[in-house]
Amino acid sequence: MITMNEVWKTYPNGVMAINGIDITIDKGEFVYVVGPSGAGKSTFIKMIYREEKPTRGDIIIDGKNLAKMKERHIPLLRRRIGVVFQDFKLLPNLSVYENVAFALEVIEESPSNIRKRVMDVLDIVHLKNKARFYPHELSGGEQQRVAIARAIVNNPSVLIADEPTGNLDPDTSWEIMHILDDINQRGTTVVMATHNKEIVNTIRKRVIAIEGGRIARDEMRGEYGYER
């Protein structure tokens, strides 16, 4: 599903973010990516949806090598990967329905398909009754659920979540986790970067710890392993 071979990433300003990573994530897995701030987690995540390009090495997703991928093929890659962020990134002047539909409109889906898909995913994130609301009328947890709905609306094979619970209170965080787990149960691979010790130690999944741009730990049903 996702394979990295000897991946290195040095930013133009000289920061060496990733220093030789080898890893394979199989289809249908749920993976936590943990580690101290500035250890390379974000770069690791960004390379999967090709916001950053590795300096050296190969990243293979669904048989396609991202390191050699042409610029014009990136949109097609992104259509098979959903991304969720800590700050939701919703469009404030669009309703819940429109925010989710936006992801399909810009890839030129047919209107009838859009309607059906949007209602389906709003059902998955339990927001069917709030389709007409605007982001500012929703709680943080609800906004993150809209973002998740948008990320999965085009049926991606991978869902990437970059600290999805970072801005949320504990109760809401659990709610988000259950939804992500649910999506994973439906067959979508989930890669989630997090600082939330409690979640990692409770919902046990594979844990990849990144420190100093290398993989410090890779355990099935692992623990968070840091104090904070």
Partner 1 sequence: MKGRTILRHLKEGCKNLVRNGWMTFASISAVTVMLFVVGAFLMIIMNVNHFATSLEQDVEVRVFIDIGAEQEEQDELLSDLEEIPGIDSIQFVSKDEGLDSLIASLGEEGDIFKSLKEENPLNDVFVVQAEEPQETENIAGDIETLPHVDSVEYGKDIFEKLFSVTDFVRLVGLILILGLMFTAMFLIANTIKLTIIARKREIQIMKLVGATNWFIRWPFFVEGLLLGTLGAVLPISILGYGYRRFYESVGTETGISFFQFLPQSPLVYQMALLLISIGALVGVWGSMMSIRKFLKV
User: Using CB under 8 A as the criterion, which residues of the chain lie in contact with partner 1 when the complex forms?
Assistant: 49, 51, 72, 75-79, 83, 89, 91, 102-103, 105-108, 111, 150, 154
- Closest distance between partner 1 and the C-beta of residue 181, in Å? 23
CB-wise, 19 or 55, nearer to partner 1?
A: 55
- Closest distance between partner 1 and the C-beta of residue 36, in Å? 26
- Closest distance between partner 1 and the C-beta of residue 42, in Å? 14
CB-wise, 108 or 227, nearer to partner 1?
A: 108
CB-wise, 12 or 228, nearer to partner 1?
A: 12
CB-wise, 51 or 198, nearer to partner 1?
A: 51
- Closest distance between partner 1 and the C-beta of residue 105, in Å? 7
CB-wise, 103 or 200, nearer to partner 1?
A: 103
Tokens of 195: 């600082």
What is the rounded distance in angstroms from the CA atom of residue 25 to the CA atom of residue 205?
Answer: 12
- Closest distance between partner 1 and the C-beta of residue 91, in Å? 6
